[in-house]
Amino acid sequence: METMGLAPWLVGFPLIGAAVLLLGGRRTNRWGHWLGVLAPTASFVAGLVMLVALLGRSADERAIVTTLGTWFHAGPLTVEAAFRVDPLSLTFVMLVTFVGSLIHLYSVAYMEHDRDRRRFFGYLNLFVAAMLLLVLADSYLLLFVGWEGVGLASFLLIGFWDHKLENAVAGKKAFVMNRVGDMGLIVAMMLMVWQFGSVSFDDVLGGASHLGSGPATAMGLMLLLAACGKSAQFPLQAWLGDAMAGPTPVSALIHAATMVTAGVYLLVRSHAILEAAPNAQLVVVIVGAITLLFGAIVGCAKDDIKKALAASTMSQIGYMMLAAGLGPIGYAFAIFHLVTHGFFKAGLFLGAGSVMHAMDDSVDMRRFGGLARALPITAITMGLGWLAILGVPPFSGFFSKDKIIEAAFVGEGWRPWVFGIVALLGAGITAFYMSRLFFMTFAGRRRWPAHDGHETHPHEAPWLMRWPMIILAVGSVFLGFLLQLGGRFTTWLEPSTGHAVHGEPVIPVWLLLTLTLVLVVLGAWLAFRLYAVGPVPVEAPHGSALVRAARHDLYQDPVNETAVMLPGQVLTRTLVYADRSAVDASFLQLASGVRRSGDGLRKAQNGYVRTYAATSLGGLLVVAAVVWALAG
Amino acid sequence: MPVTNYLILAVILFSIGATTVLLRRNAIIVFMGIELMLNATNLAFVTFARIHGDLTGQVLAFFVMVVAAAEVVVGLAIIVTIFRTRRSASVDDVNLLNG
Amino acid sequence: MTTTSAEAALFGILAPLMVLAALGLLFVKRAVHAAVCVVFVMICLAILYVANEAAFLGVVQVVVYTGAVMMLFLFVLMLVGVDSADSLTETIKGQRWIGIVFGIGLLVVLLGVVASTSHDLPPAVGLEIANAQTNPTGLAAILFGNYVVAMEVIGVLLVTAALAGLVLTHRRRLGVHRNQRTLARERVAAIPQGRTLAPLPAPGVYAQNNAMDTPALGPDGQPLEHSVPRVLRIRGQQKTAAEVLTAEETLRSRLGLPSVGVDEPEAAITDGVSASPTSDDAEEARD
């Protein structure tokens, strides 16, 4: 039991770190980054101790709630400040603290020359604390605190270099679009209070099976909205690409490995509600499928290495959403893919950071090429991550993604065909764009320019940056295999997600496997022909309409601006005009009327004592007259 | 002669005092008007004391006199001060309070 | 209750006179005349108090009002200027009409109140019982019984008022204090500017007339303008030596005495106010 008492400390360590770093001021500049590394590492060690303790228990004793006390009472609603440690949350704890610690370590070197490095680490620690609170919370309200906390940290870190306007704008965009999702979570909580009178997981999820279909669907859709905002899913996907304005470690930790997967966590955590609302489940699957294709198509056209990776993240989270919407068959695989994706995508981002470090912060892949020789370790680690995301056996992605594709083909009627084929197609496109990214960067002829008279000399990053990349690459290679061995990961998650149903796909598994691999190889081969063997123009060619649309994120920003922002602006302008011309004007009239009457009355105050005496005597006259009238 | 004649006299004196305050500009005369009003009320007090057979009315008149004496001291001191600075005892010259 | 006919007669005489005197307050030009009017009203009031069985108040009225308050008024009037006339033209627009209307209105309304309530008054009791042990004794019983706190407060008020009078009329000395020694030094130092060390000549001493407003005659028989106090000269109340001397001559001629020949310097006699710059300094020296 004592080991489970560590749960609050998981959040506490990085929170203390953040407080010291952010409140300590310049004093902590010298050693602050090491404190920043220490905090998530301490959480990781604590999490590891708890993991061992939890593995020592039988499956039905693996959910432990640690209550710190009552948070607040509000009429009939009582919210406890409680932490829930169960397989699902502990999986996240391990992912967040392990990958987080590595990325902190990487940042020590990556941010070495930034004068605000201490502040950066303060924000990162704040993020880790908020993320751990999000996954450890035992009620939707406490989860919401973490949910907002990661949103805040994301905002602060995207706009970390806010001396550039576009970075600040990107931070604002992410924040505002996240607000839309947060609204969904708030409404969902209102519905919970209405239906259950509580927001704790036990009450809500325990009572979900008795829920009417109407409230259940509403709740499910609202949770989906929240998840879409946080996880950059269609239609709230537009912020993720711009979020790449933040420093690369931020992109790796927040916008690839952990925060953006919080939506998947939310949906898997709330699986009982989704199961009570089949329609909401269908919508989840559709959203996942659309985002999957959307991200993949956008990823094919991006020349910015980080934006291409961001599109890929979006697409991969689409896979997870799809799996989360499929029901009991998919939860475990959604989380499984989430974990493996956390490793290889973080590794890929760190690799991209290493490339940027070597190429004077350039992100244009058309000006890379042939970097494998200059950056061998980066090339190897990124290569392993590339193979993992492609789903090539026996790398991690193979075990997680192919299971999702397989699960998408399970079912009856039109659904398995549509969703299965989308997932299958997505795998092929993924292979193409990831290979494109890899080949454009590391293969082919060197295209980096000798501009401004000085040559770019790509050089390998310092060891402090290399080690995290190597560790994550090793994880990308073996993690999937290790975790799926004997279905141990799905079994491990069973206390949280329920028993994983095994279904038979509509086409045989061996055929599916072959088809996937063929598509993957086809995509990779196409990319190899085009970008490794063929010449890559330094300037982007005009391209077809689809390519141009994909380059512009399938016109997501103009669509958002026309459909949402413009009516809003028109509305606010109309309101402002109405306010000025009607409300303000009438009040100004009133005010000037009062002033004019005051001016008039001012003349009565002429300063002559005798006038005042006359006024006072007039009053006496009136009083006397009243007395007379009453007496007479 | 009814005792109320004294009241009528008091009323007349009071009205004259009040009118003096309104019409005269010399601060000293205005002040005398005020004294006249106070004296008129004293007369009324004394008359009422007689009508009701109660000496309290006279006691109140006594208090009025004492307060009036105090008032005269302060009021005249103010007039003197104003006269010193402005060389005038007209109440109309002191209108710094105008809005 | 009606009064005795003697009291009625007293009232009948005094009341109209009082109203007339009070009206003087409204219509006389000079403040000092107004003060005299008020003194008259107050003395009459004292008499009416005594008639109203308030002997003590009557005495107090004389002592406090006519003796103290009105004397204070007169002192202030002297400070301000005894015969400063008050112009009766109205300067605030409409104030005269407002004053008249309000004054008459107040009179009418208050008379109405008295008239409409006087017949409801209980029959007057009179103060025979209350004044059984003399009027001051009865008053003292109430004053030091029911109203002892008010009495003390009134005492505090009077002390405060006295202090206020001191503070308000206090003049702060600007510059150093000039004592006798410095004054003497200044005076000696001013001799080169034509200042005399000796006191100024006293105003005229004549056989038939010895007033402050007539100039003395110098050894040369010429009138000395600066022998008349400056205040009188500024106010133009100075008499000329000529009229005094004329009267003197007539007397001499009537007695058959030889006349004293005086050259009359016309200008000096007709010009009332001396404008010589030294005369002011001389005046200060006399102070």
Q: What is the pLDDT of residues A338-384, one digit of tens each?
A: 999 998 999 999 999 888 888 877 888 888 877 888 888 888 999 99
> CB of A151 within 8 A of CB of A229?
no
Q: Which residues have C-beta within 8 Å of that of residue C263, sequence separation ≥ 6?
A: C221, C222
Answer yes or no: is pLDDT of A543 > 60.
Answer: yes
Tell me how far CA of residue C140 lies from CA of A243, A627, B63, C134, in angstroms.
96, 33, 13, 10
Nearest to C80 among B11, B78, B83 (CB): B83
Q: What is the pLDDT of residues A178-236, one digit of tens each?
A: 988 999 999 999 999 988 888 888 888 888 888 888 889 999 999 999 999 998 888 88
Q: What 3-state class would DSSP assign to A266?
A: helix
Q: Find the mean pLDDT for residues A392-410.
A: 86
C272 or C182: which leads in pLDDT = C182
> In C, residues 103-122, which contact B (CB 8 Å cutoff)?
103-104, 106-107, 110-111, 114, 118, 121-122
A394 or C268: which leads in pLDDT = A394
| Predicted pLDDT at C272 | 41
Answer yes or no: is pLDDT of B96 > 50.
Answer: yes
Answer yes or no: is pLDDT of A604 > 80.
Answer: no
- Sort B23 into a burial class: Cβ within 10 Å, 0-12 / 13-18 / 19+: buried
Max Cα separation, chain C? 85
Name chain B contacts of A617, Cβ cutoff 8 Å: 18, 21-22
Answer yes or no: is pLDDT of A494 > 70.
Answer: yes
Main-chain phi, psi angles of A74, to 5 degrees: -140, 95
Q: What is the pLDDT of residues A57-95, one digit of tens each?
A: 887 788 888 888 888 888 888 888 889 888 889 899 999
Name chain C contacts of A625, Cβ cutoff 8 Å: 109
Q: What is the pLDDT of residues C174-192, one digit of tens each?
A: 888 888 998 888 888 888 8
Lowest mean pLDDT among A171-180, A183-192, C48-57, C168-177: C168-177
| Predicted pLDDT at C270 | 42
Q: Interface pTM (ipTM) of the complex?
A: 0.92
Interchain pair B53, C143: CB under 8 A: no
Per DSSP, the residues of C82-122 read TTPBPP----STTHHHHHHHHHHHHHHHHHHHHHHHHTTSP
**Which own/partner contact pairs does A311-315 have at CB distance under 8 Å and 24+ positions apart?**
A311/A241, A311/A433, A312/A345, A312/A389, A312/A430, A312/A433, A312/A434, A312/A437, A313/A232, A313/A240, A313/A255, A313/A256, A313/A260, A313/A341, A313/A345, A314/A232, A314/A233, A314/A237, A314/A240, A315/A291, A315/A426, A315/A430
Lowest mean pLDDT among A20-34, A300-314, B14-28, C242-256: C242-256
Nearest to C48 among B16, B43, B56 (CB): B43
Mean pLDDT taken over chain B: 88
pLDDT band at C259 (very low <50, low <70, confident <90, very high): low
Residue A624 CA to residue C141 CA, distance in Å, equals 33
Q: C116 to chain B nearest CA, in Å?
A: 11
End-to-end CA distance of chain B: 52
| Predicted pLDDT at A203 | 87
Name chain B contacts of A602, Cβ cutoff 8 Å: 99
Q: Find the mean pLDDT for residues C77-101.
A: 76
Q: Find the mean pLDDT for residues A460-474.
A: 86
Q: What 3-state class would DSSP assign to C134?
A: coil
- Taking the Cβ of residue C36 and every Cβ of chain B, the question of whether any pair is shorter than 8 Å is answered with no
Answer yes or no: is pLDDT of A295 > 70.
Answer: yes
Residue A101 CA to residue A107 CA, distance in Å, equals 10
CA–chain centroid gap for C155, Å, is: 28
Q: What is residue A555's DSSP assignment?
A: G
Percent of chain B with pLDDT over 70: 94
- Sort A200 into a burial class: Cβ within 10 Å, 0-12 / 13-18 / 19+: buried
Angle at C127 between CA C124 and CA C132, to 5 degrees: 150
| Predicted pLDDT at C284 | 45
Nearest to A606 among B23, B91, B98 (CB): B98
| Predicted pLDDT at C269 | 43
Answer yes or no: is pLDDT of A328 > 70.
Answer: yes
Interchain pair A613, B97: CB under 8 A: no
- Bin A326: left if φ > 0, else alpha if -120 < ψ < 50, else beta: alpha
| Predicted pLDDT at A453 | 53
Answer yes or no: is pLDDT of C278 > 50.
Answer: no
Answer yes or no: is pLDDT of C153 > 90.
Answer: yes
Give the closest residue to A100 by CA, choosing from A29, A150, A140.
A150
Max Cα separation, chain B? 52
Kindly list the domain boundaries of chain A, sorted by start residue: 282-331+355-551, 560-631
Highest mean pLDDT among A584-593, C110-119, C189-198: A584-593
Answer yes or no: is pLDDT of A8 > 80.
Answer: yes
| Predicted pLDDT at A450 | 60
| Predicted pLDDT at C83 | 56
- Taking the Cβ of residue C160 and every Cβ of chain B, the question of whether any pair is shorter than 8 Å is answered with yes
Residue C229 CA to residue A398 CA, distance in Å, equals 128
Percent of chain C with pLDDT over 90: 27
Interchain pair C45, B35: CB under 8 A: no
CATH code for the part of the protein at C1-84: 1.20.120.1200
Q: What 3-state class would DSSP assign to A117?
A: helix
Kindly list the domain boundaries of chain C, sorted by start residue: 1-84, 200-286
Answer yes or no: is pLDDT of A539 > 80.
Answer: no
Q: Which residues pair with A64 in a beta bridge?
A: A85
Interchain pair C95, A625: CB under 8 A: no
Amino acid, res. A6:
L
Percent of chain A with pLDDT over 90: 25
Answer yes or no: is pLDDT of A2 > 90.
Answer: no
Secondary structure, 3-state, A355-390? HHHHCCCCCEHHHCCCCCCCCHHHHHHHHHHHHHHH
| Predicted pLDDT at C285 | 44
Answer yes or no: is pLDDT of C263 > 60.
Answer: no
Q: Which residues have C-beta within 8 Å of that of residue A151, sequence separation ≥ 6?
A: A175, A178, A182, A230
Q: What is residue A486's DSSP assignment?
A: G
Max Cα separation, chain A? 120
Tell me how far CA of residue A297 lies from CA of A261, A302, A314, A368, A401, in angstroms.
20, 9, 11, 22, 18
Which chain A residue lies closest to C90 (C-alpha atoms)? A610
C-alpha radius of gyration, chain A, whole number: 30
Tell me how far CA of residue A293 lies from CA of A312, A530, C89, in angstroms.
10, 21, 101
Tell me how far CA of residue C253 lies from CA of C222, C248, C256, C258, in angstroms.
21, 9, 5, 7
| Predicted pLDDT at C277 | 42
| Cβ-based neighbour number of residue A443 at 10 Å | 20
Name chain A contacts of B23, Cβ cutoff 8 Å: 610
Q: What is the pLDDT of residues B30-44, one digit of tens each?
A: 999 999 999 999 999
Residue A321 CA to residue A433 CA, distance in Å, equals 21
Name chain B contacts of A607, Cβ cutoff 8 Å: 94-99
Name chain B contacts of A608, Cβ cutoff 8 Å: 91-92, 95, 98
